[in-house]
Amino acid sequence: MTIEFDKNGYAVTAGDVSVYNAAPDSGEFVATSHEFIHVGQGLPAHAYLDVPPKAKKGFAICRSEDELQWEYKADHRGEVRYSTITGEKVTVTVLGEYPPDTTDSAPPKFNQWDGVQWVPNSDLLAAIARQHRDAFIIATDPMMVSDYSIDDVPLTEAQRRELTIIRAAYRAWPTVTGWPLVELPELPQWLLIEAVNQGYRVPVWPELPDVA
């Protein structure tokens, strides 16, 4: 049955009518319902008489901002993006185009966005490499005292020379060609164990690339 409405949207005849409902917040089409409209009554809020268009992949059917018609709006909800500012993962939760300052490309470690793609952040790489170098120097500083012992056994002259050479190598490490993406100087087993006992955490450096 067809009913008539006046120019203000109020029914001039009563009857059943099919209406198409939109979500109050997003305007997205949600369902069809059948309503009985009395004379002088308008349609329920966010309900419309015109039939929405057919579903379209990648889009949601929404009411236009002026509420005069249905329209397609990009629907990326559930997709994962990455902030080009912080590198953090962002899951799209609202209708519309992708959030600004995001990309579908996950950032490798120690990278920054150059406006087009992720590129190595040289300053960050250097800072982290220096932290690894300094951590070893700090951990072995106590071993430089003349009476330092391991299990109550003083260091031998050979161990003292080796310690001095290794520490010098760590201090000079930033001057090595290709730094900071070069391996740390190798440690003899006795020094590695003692440095760890002094709180040194052995880093994996250069870090392995991310695996998708």
**Arithmetic mean of pLDDT over the chain:** 94
Residues in CB range of 147: below 8 A, 6 or more apart: 154
Question: Which pLDDT score, from 0 to 100, does residue 208 have?
Answer: 61
CA distances from 162 to 130, 151, 159, 172, 190 (A): 22, 19, 5, 15, 10
Q: Calculate what percentage of the chain has a pLDDT beyond 70.
A: 97
pLDDT at 184 over 60: yes
Q: What is the pLDDT of residue 206?
A: 87
The 8-class DSSP code of residue 11 comes to: B
- Residue 211 confidence (pLDDT): 43
DSSP 136-197: HHHHHGGGGSTT-EETTEEPPHHHHHHHHHHHHHHHHGGGSTTTTSSPPPP--HHHHHHHHH
- The string of pLDDT tens digits covering residues 68-96 is 999 999 999 999 999 999 999 999 999 99
Does pLDDT of 209 surpass 80? no
What pLDDT digit, counting tens, does each position of 92-150 carry? Answer: 999 999 999 999 999 998 899 999 999 989 898 999 999 999 999 999 999 999 999 99
> Residue 207 has what pLDDT?
78
Residue 212 has pLDDT above 80, yes or no: no
